[in-house]
Each structure stands twice: as C-alpha cells, then as structure tokens.
Chain A
Amino acid sequence: MSEATVISRSVRASRGGLTAYAIWLALALALLLLPQLFPSRLALSTMSLMGTMIIFALSYNMLLGQTGLLSFGHAVFFGLGGYFCVHALNLAGDYGWPIPLPIFPLVGALGGLTFGVLFGAVATKRAGTAFAMITLGIGELVVSLALILRRFFGGEEGITTDRTDVLSFFGYSFGPQSQVYYLVAAWCFISVAAMYAVTRTPFGRICNAVRDNPQRTAFIGYDMGTVRFIAFSLAGLFAGIAGGLSAINFEIVNAAQMGAVESGSVILMTYIGGVGNFAGPIIGAILVTWLQLVLSDATQIWPLYVGLLFIGIVMFAPGGIAGMLAMQGPVIAAGKLHRVAPYYLLAAIPGAIAVIGLSILAETSHQFSIRAAYGPSITLYSLPFDVTSPLPWIVGLVLAAGGVWLFLRAARLARNAYEEAIAGGAA
C-alpha cells in the first residue's frame, strides 16, 4: 500500500508542480517580451498571425491528435468565427455599443461553438473515413453558401471592418499593430491554457481513449459519439476565437478563409508540428506561418516546398517536430546526446544539399516553363543561371540525387547511433 500512496501523491503533485507553473510563466513572459526583441511592424504582424494560428492549430489537434478525428473542414469554424466577429464589430461601431475590442473574440467563439454543435451533430455520427468525407462536404457547402448569401458573407470580396470604431479599452485604440499583438497574445495564452486544461480532465482523457480504441470506450460506459461531438464542438469554439482574432488583425474576412486551402493548411501545421504532443501544433503553427511568409516572398512556387516538408515529415518523422524532439528525451537522460548529435549533423548536411538541389531543379523548371515569357535568366542562391543551358539542370540533379543518397545513408547511421544510445541507457 505504501507504493499506492506514493503514486497518488505524485499524480496529485503533477497537477500543480513548480515546473508546470514555470512553463506557463515562461510562456507568458515570452509573449510579453517578444515585441521588445522584434519591434518592427512586419515582425509584430507576423507574430500576431502566428498567435492566431497557434490557437487554430491547437483547436484542430483537439480533433486529430486528442480524439483521432481527421477533419478536412476545420477552417469553416475559423471563417465563421471571423464573420460573426466582423459583423459584431460593425454593428457595435454603427450603434455605438459600449463593448471594448478585447471582448470580440468571444463572439467568434460563440459562432464557432454554435456551428460546431450544428455540424458536429451530423459529422460525429460517423468516424474514420466517413467523418472525413462529411467534414469535406461541410467545408464545400459553407464556401458555396458564402457565395450565395452575399449579405452575410460579402461574396468574394468578403466583409471589412474597422477595429478602432468600437469603444476604446483603457485608452488603447488598438490602431497600432503592437496593441493588436498584445490582444492576440493575451487570447493566445488564455486559449492555450484552456485547451491544455481540457486535456487534463476526465473528458480529455476519454478523448484519448476514443482515439486509441473507440470500441472499448463503449464498454467502460462512454458513448463514443458523444465524446466526439463534444470534442468537435469545443474545437469549433477555439477555432472561432482564432477566426475572431484574424478578423480583428486583418479587418477583413472572406469566403476563402473557410475553404479547403485553409483547412489543408491547418492540417499541415498540426502534422508538421506533431499530433502526438500538446506542444506540436504550437511549433507547427509558428514554423509553417513563418515559412509561408518567407518562402512566398522568395518564390512563387512556395506551396511546393511546404508540401515537400509535409511529405518528408509524414514519411520519415510521423511524430512531427515535437515527436523528434521528444525522442531525444531518453538520450539526454542517458547523457549520450553528445554521441548522437554528430550523426544528426552528418545527416543534416546532405539533407540541406538535397534541398538546395531540389529547389534548383524546381525553380529552373518553373522559369523554363510557366515563367518562360520572363526570359531564361534567374538568380538562385545569389548565383545567376540561364535555364536554357544544361548547367543548372545538371547541378540541380547532381546535388539532389547525391544529397538524397547521402542523406539516406547518414540517416541510417544516425538511427543506429540513436538506438545504441537508448539501449545503452537502459542497460
């Protein structure tokens, strides 16, 4: 019985341990201090977008990672949350309602929740492939409705608003981007904490049980349909908050934000970050948002690179980035990171070469075919190339093929080193 008491204590203590508080404190501090580190307008608007996407990706992972539901229509709740928020802002501005701006994401939450309940009642009657297809259908349905119900959705142009029209909040007008950043950051912190808290409740645990083995949950007294329905509704609520923040940040919402591309984007973020770890979607949202901005600046075919990254993760690291990081835990615990790290570097170098080679091939063929009207010369990695000459093709091919070949070999070495380190740690 003494061991029982020990477990009970450690379970109870795990709830509010010092490290737990330290992590939340660090997160709050980071959110507070980031604008000091990156004060430019571009950085602030990027970070505002990241904060929004963190909420969106985490809300998606309530479905995919926590409950095992693959939805292809999650952007519907993001978009609807945005529309409700935008209309509320416009109404409040027109009629002079005394509601300050920071309250408005709640309107988005309510919109997301309402439609989460409505669509969830239909979609969660099924699981697996049927569920995925229903959510895909709902996504298409809502987007086409948006083009019909123009009064509410504003057609293709969408609905615009002015966030400074509503009551100011302790003297803050939320005109400057820095103030919007803090609004997003505050809601991001609240939402992350709330979604984490949900995972630590009876419902959150049962979601995991439904994900692992839905049939058995029925035999411990739970209706898996109800579990999925609640998860779907809550995911809609948090996606609605993200949509509301997006509406406030950009002062516009349009039908494309509810579409398949956005729904796909949140899958990419969540999966690249890692579905099996609470922090995964946070990492994914930050990385993919950043990649989208940086790459779309550099090249027109940036979705190709995000797609390649996604395929790479699915094939080689299904746990996502967070999964790869978490895998290093046992190595660090065994004090063997210094032995494994050189192998990671050994794999990273040919990996980078392969990426460079692939990008040369991609950019060259893009310039050669679709952009042929703009002439044959491009500049890649500060070097000028002529795409009609064989040189860039050969260089690209050699780098890509050689890089991939070396990478696969080095990856095998790294894997062996990793397994050896783990095995040694256990012995």
Chain B
Amino acid sequence: MNDGVVLELSGLFKSFGATEIIRGVDLEVRTGERHAIIGPNGAGKSTLFNLVSGHLSPSAGSIRLRGEEIAGMAPQLINRRGLSRSFQITNIFPRLSVWENVRCATLWALGYKYSFWRSIDGLDDVNARTEEILTEIDLLDRWRTPAGVLTYGEQRALEIGLTIAGNADVILLDEPTAGMSRAETERVVALIRKVSEQRVLLMIEHDMHVVFDLADRISVLVYGEIIASDTPERIKSNAAVQQAYLGTEAA
C-alpha cells in the first residue's frame, strides 16, 4: 500500500438509481505527483471528485487517504484530514469580501475552530496566512471587494485560494481553467504549478495544452472506468485512449 501512495481509490462504484456513473475505479496518486484526470463529457469525472471529497457517498469501494479510509465521510472531516477541493462552477462566499473569503478558509487549519471569544482581527497568524494566499493568487489589491463582483477570472483564482488556504497537502482542482481566455489560462497554470510544488495535485481538465503542460501522470476516465493511467507520453501514444477520447487531433 505504501511506496508513496497518498490517495488510493479501489473498486469504487457510484450509481444514481439504476444509472451507474462510476463503475469500478481504481486509482493511485503518489507523493509529489501532479495527476490529471481527463475524459469525455459525462464520463463521471466530477462525480469522482464528489466521492473523494465527501460531497457524495460511494455505493461501493474504498477511498484511502494516506492509508485511512475516508469513503462516505462528511466533507469537513475529509477537509480536516488534509484534502481540499475546488469546484467547476465557482463556489465562493459572494457577499463576503475577498479578504474574508480567504480568511475564513484559513481558520480551521490554524486551530481557531468555532471560537467566539477571540477577536479575529487580532489573530496575526490568520492575517499573515490570508495575505500570503492573496499574494499567491494575485488578488491582494482586490482585498476589500465583495467576492460576488469580481471578474470571472478573479473568482476562479479565489476559488483556488479557498482550496489552498487551509494548508491541505492534497488538492483537487475541478476544471480550474474552464471558460478562461488564453492569457488567463496561462496565469492560472503558473499559479497551479506554484501551489502544487509542496502538494499532491489531482485535477480534472479539458484543455489538453494545460494537461500535457502540467501533469506528471494522466488517467483517462471513460464511462465510469479508468481505461489508462500513465505518463503523458504514453497516454498520447495509447491507442485505446486515442480511440476513446483524444481523436486524431491531439495525437
């Protein structure tokens, strides 16, 4: 089980009624890895993320985070164990300022929990960490702005900020560059590269440039099954993958 496996999915199934969305997924993500999941629309990629992050409970199978079974756990319990995720559709706190958004996301990891007796503005570690994250996602000059009125690109950056603020060492990014312009995508890729330096990254991505640029390893999900999991070069030359997904264009 060991040899650096951080996240291990085995025999994972998820069905909604009679419809099987995830049909026996086995996947290993190792220390220091940037792992991308690709696959056609409706393959079950987001469902897979929802299972790993606790948003949904699997119908069968196991999910281990550093050897510990987390399948079916509540999202907050998984988050506290060091696994954090972003969402494909921006999922922030729209009426709170950018500063408050990120600050809220730092609190649990810094041990403040439900404290209603300490002034938050006086917590130097919280403020410092919030600044650090805002610097990292390049939103420091927007710190007072209500998150709901940020531009789309800025909201996507904040989404990543919320994901990394809690000091999780395994991060799941669900289509971080979806709907972005070329320039915005480049900035986000640079950001992802930076934030994944000390962390394990598992990402869903449709943009093949981004995938082959970032990922050390790629898994291909088709109709709820992983048909290949390998290095980018081998995935490119994998005939089954080409047939199922990449087509001739990206080969």
Contacts and interface: CB of A to CB of B under 8 A. Distances in A.
B80 interface: yes
A222 B108 CA distance: 7
B56 interface: no
B121 A205 contact: no
Interface residues of B, number: 50
Contact of B131 (A4, A209, A216, A221): A4
A259 interface: no
B136 to A, nearest CB: 11
A219 interface: yes
Interface string A224-263: 0011001000100000000000000000000000000000
Interface string B113-136: 111111111111011100110110
Contacts of A234: 116
Given A201-B117, A202-B118, A204-B120, A212 B95 contact: yes
B220 to A, nearest CB: 26
Contacts of B134: 4
Nearest to A8: B127
Contacts of A226: 114
Contacts of B143: 7
A12 B96 CA distance: 18
A420 B84 CA distance: 44
B96 A203 contact: no
A12 B75 contact: no
A208 B95 contact: yes
B74 interface: yes
Contacts of B93: 208-209, 212-213, 216
Contacts of B108: 220-222
B22 to A, nearest CB: 20
A1 B135 contact: yes
A206 B134 CA distance: 19
A213 B92 contact: yes
A11 B112 CA distance: 18
A12 B114 contact: no
Contact of A209 (B74, B79, B96, B128): B96
A221 to B, nearest CB: 3
A346 B74 CA distance: 56
A222 B76 contact: yes
B114 A219 contact: no
Nearest to A212: B93
Contacts of A222: 76, 108
A76 to B, nearest CB: 22
A354 B53 CA distance: 56
Interface string B203-230: 0000000000000000000000000000
A3 B140 contact: yes
B166 interface: yes
Contact of B121 (A15, A208, A218): A15
Nearest to A9: B127
A245 B117 CA distance: 24
Nearest to B140: A3
Nearest to A5: B131
B65 to A, nearest CB: 14
A3 B100 contact: no
Interface string A98-126: 00000000000000000000000000000
Contact of A202 (B85, B112, B135, B141): B112
Contacts of A419: none
B71 interface: no
Most chain B CB inside 10 Å of its own CB: which residue of A1, A14, A201? A201
A26 interface: no
A397 interface: no
Contacts of B107: 202, 205-206, 220-221
Contacts of A200: 119-121
Closest 6 CB pairs of A and B: A221-B108, A203-B116, A218-B75, A212-B93, A15-B121, A202-B112
27 contacts: A7-B127, A7-B143, A8-B124, A8-B127, A14-B121, A201-B117, A201-B120, A202-B112, A202-B118, A203-B114, A205-B96, A205-B100, A205-B104, A208-B95, A208-B96, A209-B96, A209-B100, A212-B96, A213-B94, A216-B92, A216-B162, A217-B76, A218-B54, A218-B74, A219-B91, A220-B108, A222-B76
